[in-house]
Structure 1
Amino acid sequence: MPPLPTPPTRRAFLGLGAAAVTASALVACSPPDLSPVALPDVGEGYDGPPLTLKFWNGLTGGDGAIMRELLLQFRDEHPNITIEMFAMPWPSFYQKFPSAVVSGLAPDIGLMHNFHVATNAARGVIVPLDEAADRIGLSEANFSETVWRSGIVNGRRYSIPLDVWPDSLFYNRRVLENAGLDPDDPPRDRASYEETLEILAEQGIAGHWLPAIDPQGVGRGFDSLQWQFGGELYDEEGTRALFNGPEGREALEWQLERILSDQSKRNVSGGDANVAFKNDLNAFLWGGPGALINDLGSVEDLDWGVVPLPLIGEQPASFSGSHQFVIMRQRAFDPDRMRAAFTFLSWISENSIAWAGAGPIPARRDVVESPEFAELPAQSSIAEALPDVRFYPLIPGIFDVQSTILYPALSDVLLLNADPQEALDGAAEQANHLLEENRQKYAEAMS
């Protein structure tokens, strides 16, 4: 077997980062290259000379270790292809790789969150993969409809889904049992959830710690709730915010009531809630399996389970994200490198059962339906929610609208510093301005 790939030295990585930072000036002053891209006409299956593909992502935790194990397994089966993985914090990844594309130092393959795909497609730094998906035999039949379509922007596919991670209800069995509740029957609807929280509150236990000072955590819960109440975040064209409608107000007021009724501690973060759960101080966490399954599973003697989010509204829905593979724009596409990249994408999609060990649910339908997946109790339970997952709309710049405008406004309300309707109305007005700015900025790509 060829020698295993070694991670880059610190000097080499810093040099790479310096080059990307230098190139950022080019990104700032240069318009995106939106010219048509023609990938080499190659299929899956590489039998050429040894080569190394660069693969960038933000997998810096336990998920990164699992991905590296998969890369070694891939090399065992494909000794002439080495995948050299560079992992960096996600904010750094999203900042550095467009600069690397402009400077001609782009990696071959990237992994990004699906809610960043539309933005980077509009920037012209990733390329359409319709033909690539066809060549490696991937179609909607292999995936659930929602996750497959989450990589399509303006009618073109820009990404290949690896997984899906719906926010779910993690419950502490010991806390429920000590409160006289059934530890194996977590609440699944509004009435039973509120009743459970009230029983806990009467015993001095704040069962659901809302991360009011953690806008991202509380915002995803709001998204799930307003979808459950029948609302939408934005109109279909992505030109107007709708989250300040009656459904959004009902969702936010439901969250606020948990705090006002002492069913949640005040002024806490997602980290606070996580630590409390591990120490049997609260009963429930709302969060994604990608981080929580392995995190909670590593705590000795913690007795927990997980199910889809309770149905608080009228229709099941849960916020979800998805890691998706992309091909970076190159100054020139080498047929050998493309054939090797397609070989890797096909292989890792087929072998994504091992990726489920990192916590997320594999995107492949046949993997989720396999006997091996059924042996993963937490992931199997969460997979019940796959028909009801919801993603952000495929609008360039949408993550900035959510994270810099909507989520801080929600946090203000839950910190008891703002009125729910006034905060939502103010956020909607600001969001409409940013949506229009983004529409103009990405007009060529969106037309």
Structure 2
Amino acid sequence: MRRTSVPDRAPSRRRVLGGVAALAAMTATGTAGTAGCAAPAAVGAGRTRLRFWHLYGGGDGVNMRTMLDAYRAAHPGIALRASTLQWGAPYYTKLGMAGAGGRAPEVAALHLARLPGFGPGRLLDPFDLDLLAEHGLSEKDFPADLWRRGRIDGAQYAVPLDTHPMVLYYNTDICRKAGLLGADGKLKPIRGAEEFAAALRAAGKATGRPALAVETLGAGTVGPWRLFSTLYSQTGGTLLDETATRITIDDTRALTVLRFMRRLTEEGLAHRRLDYNGTVGVFGGGETAFLLGGEWEVSTFTNLDLPFSMTRVPNLFGRPTAQADSHCFVLPHQRDRGGESNEAAHAFVAWMLKNTVEWAKGGHVPAYLPTLEKPGYLELEPQSEYRSVIDDVVLDPPAWFAGSASSMWIELGAVLSGVLTGSRTPQGALDEARARLQTLLDTPDPLGGDA
């Protein structure tokens, strides 16, 4: 077997542990866990140790366990030990501490948009592209933008598993009554903000209630940010420059979007005050025609026997884009990475990606492009209905404070919440969002600097 090794480029443990703790304090809800150095696990004679850390709970956790059980059955020579850690800041704190100590698991999950702030080259080791190729994976198997986001300073630190974008759920019974379905039983195309508003009005008349559920408030709310990011990206606007060091918000475009968001609740087209669980409850209860949210609730609504389907977020402002992040595989830093365990990690990543039909059942769009053409995936309804969004997803700018469970989501989500609830004007929200974003830019990266 090939023996590869990665030089120890980690900074001092004390410095990185301090940085990770500071980073956790600025991320989403949750209390940081204890130091996450992975203790050696007992492995039977002749078996190769492989440890995998992830943060998948709920329906994702069920699908992941199914995949891992299938992997174990197909690889009796690998002693796979998978650990599910608490989502958000606790997970990233523990993973960072493990990488800082150089005694991390062989492979782990990460949100791709968080990669720049997670110490590539210090807390993470790069993939061996030749080794991935030996197991049948190459750059051409993935969307160009997602693969590119995993590359830093010429090395590949992340291999994407999926993308999980904002999508539009719709109640087929209500939409049929409102005349919004085509002969094929699917939602008729909606083009532009006015057509969307008209569809919401028609659906509202059919129920006597606001037609759209979208997260507008709550502790640690991020829905308002995801909605703004989706619609603002459709205008072609950007948040930061390519180096993520300078604000590039276009006020005219941003205000166009913010005024439309305000209009949704002001005109009664959308519910004004719903937290995340409220959006799931209202749509899942059949009370409203549409839900704008993450695609991961597909299992929830399927289990409720709700008459629903899903589609891409309509192109309201010129481009068919949608805010998203991407789960990916990474190699946490190990002082002695190499040998059979490292080869097993690369082979594990390849096997998991080639078996992502099971993963797609939870709503995520597989990043491994061949999966999108497999009959098993195409038979998934409504999951396969929005697969084309894989080419139009927009991740956060490559800043250390961005990505899922990040301080930027929480800070800007709180500001933009006021636009939807009516407590902030669009201009006031834009000014405050700009100020908070500048504060984040002015804050040093807790994991940055030389050792």
TM-score by length of 2: 0.84
Residue number in structure 1 paired with 2:8 = none
Please say if 1:193 is aligned against 2:183. Answer: no
C-alpha distance in structure 2 between counterparts of 1:96 and 1:440, whole Å: 15
Residue number in structure 2 paired with 1:69 = 66
Residue number in structure 1 paired with 2:438 = 432
- What do residues 14-44 of structure 1 show as CA deviations (whole Å, max 9, x unaligned)? xxxxxxxxx9997017999xxxxxxxxxxxx
CA contact (8 A) 2:106 2:345 kept: yes
Please say if 1:296 is aligned against 2:301. Answer: yes
Deviation (angstroms), 1:81 = 0.4
Q: Check 1:184–1:135 CA distance in 2 against 1; reply closer, same or farther (3 A cut).
A: closer
- What do residues 185-228 of structure 1 show as CA deviations (whole Å, max 9, x unaligned)? 34522233211112234452201123210431121111010011
Residue number in structure 1 paired with 2:150 = 151
Counterpart amino acid of 2:433? A
Residue number in structure 2 paired with 1:287 = 293
Counterpart amino acid of 1:364? Y
Counterpart amino acid of 1:126? L
Residue number among 5, 10, 17 corresponding to 1:27 in the alignment:
17
Residue number among 223, 228, 234 corresponding to 1:228 in the alignment:
234
Equivalence map 1:248-327=2 (5 Å): 248-289=254-295, 291-300=296-305, 302-327=306-331
Q: Check 1:441–1:88 CA distance in 2 against 1; reply closer, same or farther (3 A cut).
A: closer
C-alpha distance in structure 2 between counterparts of 1:235 and 1:189, whole Å: 29
Residue number among 94, 112, 115 corresponding to 1:114 in the alignment:
112
C-alpha distance in structure 2 between counterparts of 1:435 and 1:89, whole Å: 28
C-alpha distance in structure 1 between counterparts of 2:259 and 2:123, whole Å: 40
Residue number in structure 1 paired with 2:38 = none
CA contact (8 A) 2:111 2:325 kept: yes
C-alpha distance in structure 2 between counterparts of 1:396 and 1:354, whole Å: 32
Greater shift, 225-234 or 330-339, is seen at: 330-339
C-alpha distance in structure 2 between counterparts of 1:422 and 1:29, whole Å: 33
- What is the total number of aligned residue pairs between the two structures? 406
Please say if 1:356 is aligned against 2:360. Answer: yes
- What do residues 373-403 of structure 1 show as CA deviations (whole Å, max 9, x unaligned)? 1111222211022221111122222234522
C-alpha distance in structure 2 between counterparts of 1:298 and 1:192, whole Å: 31
SS where residue 248 of structure 2 aligns?
coil
C-alpha distance in structure 2 between counterparts of 1:395 and 1:113, whole Å: 13
Please say if 1:245 is aligned against 2:243. Answer: no
CA RMSD of aligned residues (A): 2.5
CA contact (8 A) 1:244 1:425 kept: no
C-alpha distance in structure 2 between counterparts of 1:60 and 1:362, whole Å: 18
Q: Check 1:177–1:29 CA distance in 2 against 1; reply closer, same or farther (3 A cut).
A: closer
Unaligned runs of 5+ in 2: 1-12, 23-44
Equivalence map 1:384-423=2 (5 Å): 384-399=388-403, 400-423=406-429
Deviation (angstroms), 1:178 = 3.5
Residue number in structure 2 paired with 1:374 = 378
SS where residue 394 of structure 1 aligns?
coil
C-alpha distance in structure 2 between counterparts of 1:234 and 1:160, whole Å: 24
Counterpart amino acid of 1:265? H
Residue number in structure 2 paired with 1:128 = 126
CA contact (8 A) 2:237 2:250 kept: no
C-alpha distance in structure 2 between counterparts of 1:60 and 1:358, whole Å: 11
CA contact (8 A) 1:56 1:93 kept: no
Deviation (angstroms), 1:428 = 1.2
Deviation (angstroms), 1:261 = 0.1
Residue number in structure 2 paired with 1:341 = 345
CA contact (8 A) 1:225 1:313 kept: yes
Deviation (angstroms), 1:153 = 2.4
C-alpha distance in structure 2 between counterparts of 1:440 and 1:280, whole Å: 45
C-alpha distance in structure 2 between counterparts of 1:245 and 1:348, whole Å: 43
- What do residues 142-187 of structure 1 show as CA deviations (whole Å, max 9, x unaligned)? 1111222221223321111111122111100122233454363345
Residue number among 33, 57, 61 corresponding to 1:60 in the alignment:
57
Unaligned runs of 5+ in 1: 1-22, 33-47
C-alpha distance in structure 1 between counterparts of 2:240 and 2:162, whole Å: 25
Q: Check 1:97–1:235 CA distance in 2 against 1; reply closer, same or farther (3 A cut).
A: same
C-alpha distance in structure 2 between counterparts of 1:268 and 1:429, whole Å: 26
C-alpha distance in structure 2 between counterparts of 1:146 and 1:104, whole Å: 30
Residue number in structure 2 paired with 1:38 = none
Q: Check 1:130–1:252 CA distance in 2 against 1; reply closer, same or farther (3 A cut).
A: farther
Deviation (angstroms), 1:123 = 7.7
C-alpha distance in structure 2 between counterparts of 1:369 and 1:262, whole Å: 41
Deviation (angstroms), 1:433 = 2.9
CA contact (8 A) 2:363 2:383 kept: yes
C-alpha distance in structure 2 between counterparts of 1:374 and 1:211, whole Å: 30
- What do residues 101-143 of structure 1 show as CA deviations (whole Å, max 9, x unaligned)? 3345421110111111111135821112253544544222111
CA contact (8 A) 1:112 1:323 kept: yes
C-alpha distance in structure 1 between counterparts of 2:102 and 2:149, whole Å: 28
Percent sequence identity over aligned pairs? 27
Deviation (angstroms), 1:298 = 0.9
C-alpha distance in structure 2 between counterparts of 1:393 and 1:130, whole Å: 26
C-alpha distance in structure 1 between counterparts of 2:19 and 2:76, whole Å: 42
Residue number in structure 1 paired with 2:41 = none
CA contact (8 A) 1:175 1:281 kept: no
CA contact (8 A) 1:129 1:159 kept: yes
Q: Check 1:336–1:418 CA distance in 2 against 1; reply closer, same or farther (3 A cut).
A: same
SS where residue 46 of structure 2 aligns?
coil
